[in-house]
Structure 1
């Protein structure tokens, strides 16, 4: 576990005139093992008439109470300045040792 990752949580905030918008805030920061990044999990897809690379990776972190509450619908991962959406959360047979997140890079 040699790479630092930041888990961000989405929350809805209201601005001065009552509009609701999503805001991402840092929820948890830890060290992780990154796997499957690059050629093994990347593929090409067509997006808006152009061919783009769809990059994925896995992030494995040690189990703790904070990590056990991370969900794919409300969290995302920051790694080396890039944003990754969480696609799947694997608790590895619920042995409470590690949690593995499958992620896809967000296109901006």
Structure 2
């Protein structure tokens, strides 16, 4: 893995359930890990909905593997990058060598 490619900063967030003062349970996103990453566009699509043309970007992020990212999965984690939110769709420990992770993520439409 070429360290010089890791030019982008990403923040990985984890979904947690918190209880407020009166006992209500709500989901909140908490910063879990921030690291350098290589970000690359995997695919970009346009589609029409309700008379609007909307875009859907899928990015691939490559990060160095570390013990903290061992429990990373696509259901409870998301990525913040460039002011956008990306929902993780695939976590790939390349060849199970624990050297780098490839995170495929789709931009969330707000």
TM-score (norm 1): 0.90
2:43 counterpart SS class? coil
Normalized per residue, the structure richer in helix is: 2
* In 2, Cα distance between equivalents of 1:3 and 1:58: 12
Match of 1:81 among 83, 86, 97: 83
* In 1, Cα distance between equivalents of 2:93 and 2:11: 18
2:104 counterpart SS class? strand
Instruction: Kindly tell me the number of residue pairs found equivalent between the two proteins.
Output: 105
- Give the deviation of 1:17 after TM superposition: 2.6
Matched with 2:97 is 95
Matched with 1:60 is 62
CA distances 1:17-75 after superposition (whole Å, capped 9, x unpaired): 32221100100000000012xxx511013345533101110000001111221111000
Measured on the aligned residues, the alpha-carbon RMSD in Å equals: 1.3
* In 2, Cα distance between equivalents of 1:72 and 1:56: 14
Alignment of 1:23 with 2:25, yes or no, is: no
Matched with 2:11 is 6
Unaligned runs of 5+ in 1: none
Normalized per residue, the structure richer in strand is: 2
Matched with 1:50 is 52
